[in-house]
Amino acid sequence: MRESELFAHSGRTYRGGMTTTEQFWSDAQRHLVRYGGTFTPEIIERASGSYVYTADGRRILDFTSGQMSAILGHSHPAIVDTVQRQIATLDHLFSGMLSRPVVDLARRLAETLPAPLDKVLLLTTGAESNEAAIRMAKLVTGRHEVVAFARSWHGMTGAAANATYSAGHQGYGPTAPGNFAIPTPNAYRPDFTTADGELDWRRQLDHGFALVDAMSSGSLAAFIFEPILSSGGIIEPPEGYLAALAAKCRERGMLLIADEAQTGLCRTGTWYAFERDGIVPDILTLSKTLGAGLPLAAVVTSEEIEQRAHERGYLFYTTHVSDPLVAAVGNTVLDVLRDEKLDVRAREHGAFLRAGLLEIQQRHHVVGDVRGRGLMQGVELVVDRTTKQGSDALGAQVTRRCLELGLHMNVVQLKGMGGTFRIAPPLTATREELALGLEILDQAIGEAATA
């Protein structure tokens, strides 16, 4: 008799933790759909602060903030208190009903953003918020073509997947017509160069849009971008690039969509990563960090765009739009970010983390590049610094050794991605925890480099 049938016959309520380790992995292999990469070979029983704890009692330092989301660490007391209180009073409503947490969060988010970003739609995931943003851009402009970077990741659903080029295109048939990519401005691997070998991003950008113009049917609706391309390898466009990109969009009547799923809300040392470049997107999407690990996302735009969308019958009616439980969590996230000045902390601790990574680069020839901003850093491993030949195998080896030593420090081991570590510890991590992570990473890279 199956465990579920045993529960049904006995009247017991599922509590978890009742299977042996062997049965757990047997059930996982038998019943779980594999959805990308491999599963971490540990049973995680609980998480607290900067650590996750395994079934066999090991403590693992989490340098990925869960799925780049738990910016306040795991089980932050303020988040726990909010969830316990809110779920006992108001958890989920019919989508047409409004509650105070929803309206409060919309207002407070708008207050953190420059004008004219003051209209908010609350959803669940990053892919969903990008779907909503792209759908809005198409309706408002009356056009259908969407442009993104060739190393982008915006989600695995419909329009978001069409605008995702770092992975996931092969084997699923053609994407919708009108989806284009331009070269990613990667200073470490420049394709257009100046006389001194540096990335000539202006010429690259001109070339990219020349290709877009050649392919377009005259129906360009939007450009969607990450201020720092995460899955693409922690690639940050040079200063001035995003302003020039915004100008290209204005010239063509396109809307500019900023996807700040991972960079938003203090991660990079400012509340929003686009602030560095002096631009204001037409539409902003937030997710991951907004819910601090819970499923909460947002689309933020101007009153003018929202009004035009409404007049044209904008429809994005989902089961969990404007849910009060996660909206209450979002309000608590804003409280903690403000009260604990986590933007300042991300800048200061980010500088400490980056200095440590640069020291590791000096010690180990397999570290080709260190890049990023604040507490979002990238380390690219190479077989040879001269040729810059990457290595997924080396990345996987270091990842495994880090885990053995007590550090979880990579998110996705997909082809072409595994050689670049995406390092994003919680904003609440201490200097001591950052130093421990650097020590483990240094040891793992050193062992891999001499193997």
Q: Which amino acid is at 73?
A: G
Report helix angle 241-251 to 201-215, nearest 10.
30
Q: Give the residue numbers marked as catalytic.
A: 153, 226, 259, 262, 288, 422
Q: 371 - beta bridge partners?
A: 378
| Rounded distance between C-alpha atoms, residue 206 and residue 198, angstroms | 16
What is the DSSP pairing of strand 376-384 with strand 420-423? antiparallel
- Give the residue among 136, 214, 218 at the shortest CA–CA distance from 182: 214
| Rounded distance between C-alpha atoms, residue 116 and residue 114, angstroms | 6
- Give the Cβ contact number of residue 430 at 10 Å: 13
Torsion of CA 234, 236, 237, 242, to 10 degrees: 110
What is the DSSP pairing of strand 51-54 with strand 255-259? unpaired
